[in-house]
């Protein structure tokens, strides 16, 4: 076999291998799979990492007991179908805030006053703490 014919066969083989790998990659992406582990796209307004594990802002405290239940209930009434990620005191103008994950996967922060009335609903997991950098 001549060297040009060997070279042509090698190039053709490489192209076919590349085409097969590319087609497999496209098929895998179309089916939502991944051979190297899936990287889920973060929902709108999601902070980096697991929202339930994030530290609360400076001057804020996680709520527990009856207060946590009342803040969570008020927030869920304002955003039906959502689930509570966490509830805490608020260092930015409201008494309390509840971080919720809506049924579409996006996040919302609900501000609640001392009378357990909702005063505001903000898209996302909340702004940066005073003097902090933005989340997500």
pLDDT in tens, 34-46: 444 444 444 455 5
- With bands split at pLDDT 50, 70 and 90, how would you rate the model's confidence at 53? low
Q: Which CATH architecture is the domain 51-123 placed in?
A: 2-Layer Sandwich (3.30)
Please give the model's pTM, rounded to 2 decimal places. 0.58
The CA distance from 19 to 16, in Å, is 5
Tokens 């608020």, residue?
90
Domain boundaries, the chain: 1-39, 51-123
Eight-class DSSP state of 101: E
Q: What percent of the chain has pLDDT over 90?
A: 41
Q: How confident is the model at residue 69 (pLDDT cuts 50, 70, 90)?
A: very high
Instruction: Identify the top-confidence range among 49-58, 74-83, 120-129.
Output: 74-83
Q: How far apart are CA 62 and CA 90, in angstroms?
A: 10
């Amino acid at each position: 076999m001549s060297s040009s014919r060997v070279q042509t066969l090698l190039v053709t083989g490489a192209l076919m291998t590349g085409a097969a790998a590319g087609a497999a990659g496209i098929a895998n992406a179309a089916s939502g799979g991944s051979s190297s582990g899936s990287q889920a796209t973060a929902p709108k307004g999601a902070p980096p990492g697991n929202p339930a594990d994030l530290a609360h802002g400076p001057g804020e405290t996680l709520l527990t007991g009856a207060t946590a239940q009342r803040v969570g209930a008020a927030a869920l009434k304002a955003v039906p179908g959502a689930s509570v990620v966490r509830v805490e005191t608020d260092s930015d103008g409201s008494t309390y805030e509840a971080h919720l994950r809506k049924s579409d996967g996006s996040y919302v922060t609900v501000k609640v006053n001392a009378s357990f009335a909702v005063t505001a609903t903000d898209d996302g997991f909340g702004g940066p703490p005073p003097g902090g950098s933005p989340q997500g």
